[in-house]
Amino acid sequence: MKSTIRKKLIVFIPAHNEVGNIESVIKRVPRQFDLNYEVLVIVIDDGSTDRTAEAAKEAGADYVYSFAANRGLGAAVREGLARCCQLGADIGLMIDADNEYPPEQIPDVVRPILSNAADYTFGSRFKGSIAGMRLHRRLGNYLFTVLQSILLRKWIYDGQSGMRGFSREAMESAEIIHDYNYAQVLTLNLLRKGFRLEEVAIAYKVRTQGQSFIKFRQYVTSVLPAIYQEMKRPAIRGAASHAPGRQLQETSGSQV
């Protein structure tokens, strides 16, 4: 019988001090929802001081990469995209490590990419359901999403989603110009380059363990200047220079 070479879908999880959540996220990732795709899970450990890296390996992550010190979510997502490309991913799916986003809906979020209807997808909380989000966080999400919509002249429902899918070309072209966060600048970068976005309704539930790194004042003072810088850059579609950084210290480079 002639063997079929399977494509790769890599789920990458940026994580910082998420020992209480990372195991559940990894174990809930669907591994066999499409016979044409091998599903791998990698974790980008952003300088955690707890047992996040060890817990990820014990939960079944195929690869765990650790920064020697905390560098920021933007840096971790940039590294995750680069590692997906390095490992030969045809599709990448990023999901937060905080157990707020549903791994069970990964097939839904990547389906528009599988069918070539989109290059870049969001798991959209505001098109789906939200449980437990406080009013100030909801308003902050609305504010930054409206700002992205205005800048892109395209209506977006959930510009801060922590669950996103990427085609291979989108991963290769994506650029994140600052380390603190990625959400707004990444979307501006990809959509200004002509990549197609589709949002998929998901069920979202606020974390019950751990603590978010996001602080509103730091978020505003870091993200707004980055948005301004991104909008001044030329939107050129092509390979991005986000090869794995020199500061990376690999804690597990082989399949478990």
- CA neighbor of 172 nearest in space, from 238, 112, 121, 80: 238
Output the pLDDT for position 248. 45
Output the pLDDT for position 213. 54
CATH superfamily of 7-252: Spore Coat Polysaccharide Biosynthesis Protein SpsA; Chain A (3.90.550.10)
Output the pLDDT for position 3. 57
What is the C-alpha end-to-end distance of the chain, expressed in Å?
28
Per-residue pLDDT of the chain (256 residues; tens, 9 = 90+): 555 789 999 999 999 999 999 999 999 999 999 999 999 999 999 999 999 999 999 999 999 999 999 999 999 999 999 999 999 999 999 999 999 999 999 999 999 999 999 999 999 999 998 887 787 778 888 888 898 889 999 999 999 999 999 999 999 999 999 898 898 999 999 999 999 999 999 999 986 655 555 555 666 677 788 888 888 888 888 767 554 443 444 444 444 4
How far, in Å, CA of 43 to CA of 123, rounded? 19
* Domains of the chain by residue range: 7-252
